[in-house]
Amino acid sequence: MEYALIQVLPDIPAGQVCAGIDWATVDHVACVVDMAGRVKDRFAAAHDKAGIEVLIARLRRAGVSEVAIERGDGVLVGALLDAGLTVVVITSRQVKNLRSRYGAAGAKDDRFDSFVLADTLRLARLDATPLPGFDENQYMQTADFNSRPLAELLEEFTFVRRGHLLLLRHLPPAAWQWRGTVIDHPATCRSLAYVMAGHVEHHLAIVKKRLAG
């Protein structure tokens, strides 16, 4: 079955709530937040036909029209789309990084991750909360990229990059001029998109220089 691509998200979601689903092979944890970030509902549902039907029915009762989830395929995503819900993919790596926004450690917690997904979808609208920086060198100390095959690293990069492009593609036109504060500097969505592109070029230049040397 083919699904039409949604080009932009509305400025405010129908029902003024957003949902996040932490996907799992046995059961799923869903969280619904309003536009102020308050949790309106949180529950678990089994990963089977009956469980998914209950999950979708409960989301509908809460007025949900948009759902953030960590993957863009599978039985659950297909059911959400068939039910007429908008599905926004936020990769698991992005969710891991977003946890720090709420002062949480990197350990995975299904109930908390479902909230992070829902709240990220809410904040994509318009939010002026200053975003702090982080020590990227400290992050890399435990990354252990050398233990992984190059092909796997390239595959992960491709998926993460695609997630970024899909996120930017689905922003409403007005969002490109929204302003916020990033690491004590003013920034717009448009400027951050340029930073994302330029940052890749920066690191490619470093790799080429080191290989040449």
95 inside domain: yes
Same-domain status, 159 and 119: no
Say whether pTM exceeds 0.85: no
CATH of the domain at 78: 3.30.420.40
DSSP 8-state code for residue 93:
H
Q: Which of 72, 95, 123 is the last residue of a domain?
A: 123
Cβ atoms 93, 114 nearer than 8 A: no
pLDDT of residue 78: 92
pLDDT of residue 111: 66
pLDDT of residue 3: 44
pLDDT of residue 131: 61
**Total structural domains within the chain:** 2
Instruction: Give Cα separations from 155 to 137, 140, 151, 161 (angstroms).
Output: 23, 19, 6, 10
Q: Which domain holds residue 180?
A: 136-212
80 inside domain: yes
Residues of the chain with pLDDT below 70 are 1-8, 97-112, 122-134, 139, 180, 182-183
Same-domain status, 29 and 110: yes
pLDDT of residue 109: 56
pLDDT of residue 1: 43
Q: Which of 55, 89, 123 is the last residue of a domain?
A: 123
